Amino acid sequence: MFFLVGVQSYSHELGFYKKEGTCPNCNRTIKLGIVRNSVWLTIFFVPCFPLSIKYFKFCPECGISAQITRKEAKALLK
Ligand SMILES: [Zn+2]
């Protein structure tokens, strides 16, 4: 008996800020986006449980991103 074990990363765009903000890189006034990146343990290619979940804010114009907490991400999307 054997198990085919691996890891798989997923990226999910959660949405954009409700208010416009200024990008620290390109200085444009724009609605920044929020994305959730997660890494899952897979058994036979089926995701079983997450190994890590991280949230990032990103600028859709220049692509720069910075890690934020889950609490910050939820507050920014309200
Ligand atoms: Zn930018």
* Per-residue pLDDT, 20: 87
> Could you state, in order of their start, the residue ranges of all structural domains in the chain?
5-77
Q: How far apart are the CA of 11 and the centre of ligand 1, in A?
A: 20
Confidence (pTM): 0.81
More confident residue, 78 or 52: 52
Q: How far apart are the CA of 33 and the centre of ligand 1, in A?
A: 11
* Per-residue pLDDT, 38: 97
State the pLDDT confidence band at 21, using cuts at 50, 70 and 90: confident
* Per-residue pLDDT, 18: 81
Task: Give every CB contact of residue 57 below 8 A, 6+ residues apart in sequence.
Answer: 17, 32, 33, 34, 65, 66, 68, 73, 76
* Per-residue pLDDT, 78: 80
Give Dmax (Cα) for the chain: 57
Q: How far apart are the CA of 71 and the centre of ligand 1, in A?
A: 23
State yes or no: pLDDT of 22 exceeds 90: no
Torsion angle (degrees, nearest 10) of CA 45, 46, 48, 50: 60
User: Within 10 A of 18 (CB to CB), how many other CB atoms are there?
Assistant: 9
